[in-house]
Amino acid sequence: MLFYSKAVMICILFFYCLILISGCSSKFSPMFTESWSENLALASNGTKAIPPEINDGKMDTFGVTQMPNREYTLILPEEKEINRIVIYSGNVVAYNIYCWDSKDKKWVSVGSMGPNAGRQKAYSDKYKMTIPRFDHRIKFKTDRIKLIVSRAESDGVMTTRTPAKNDRIINQRTEYIQMGRDRVRVDLYDVFTYGNATIREIELYTHVQKPKFE
């Protein structure tokens, strides 16, 4: 009986400690909350963009790029530590992100998005539409960021008998066509085609900690 009483007392004391710790945590944790700087990518903050539509602050404009270089570039007025990159897509579904390393004089890969990855969607009250959005967390000090598109919704497959030298052939097959009494062999090639890529806006943020007092 004595052993049972001690066990009960230990359990009560344990749960009391949990409640006490939880109460302290809820009391003090709001003092410091995660916060972000203003959008460093905006043209109004001195950042240059190629094409310029991707940092004009407007969701109803598109930055359009074509092959062979479906590339987007942001050039900041000075080096900043970038902690968050937000991409509002038009039709882009897969890409790679690079930051310029001024010390080693080279582009460094800091993030990517594949065609099978889940995407967020943000609804704009101002423009009354839902926009695909990709959110990346990084930590890199740089003054230049570029995004290279590997897949867009405008990409597709075209069948041809005469592929070009640099075409990306994804399938080859042979068919026979009856022409009178003769059967003619036809070699067909399924070629992956690249369409235009479109991005509405790219945003850049640095992480800050701001005290929050009730």
Short-list 188, 203, 183, 191, CA closest to 42: 203
Chain length of the chain: 214
Is the pLDDT assigned to residue 22 strictly greater than 50?
no
HSE, side-chain direction, 13 A CA sphere, residue 8: 5
Average pLDDT, the chain: 85
Structural tokens at position 76: 């900041």
pLDDT of residue 27: 41
Q: How confident is the model at residue 1 (pLDDT cuts 50, 70, 90)?
A: very low
Q: What are phi and psi of 171, to 5 degrees?
A: -160, 145
The pLDDT tens digits of the residues spanning 168-211 come to 999 999 999 888 888 999 999 999 999 999 999 999 999 887 65
The pLDDT tens digits of the residues spanning 135-156 come to 999 999 999 999 999 999 999 9
Structural tokens at position 183: 């059967």
Q: How confident is the model at residue 33 (pLDDT cuts 50, 70, 90)?
A: low
- The answer to pTM > 0.85 is no
Q: How confident is the model at residue 2 (pLDDT cuts 50, 70, 90)?
A: very low
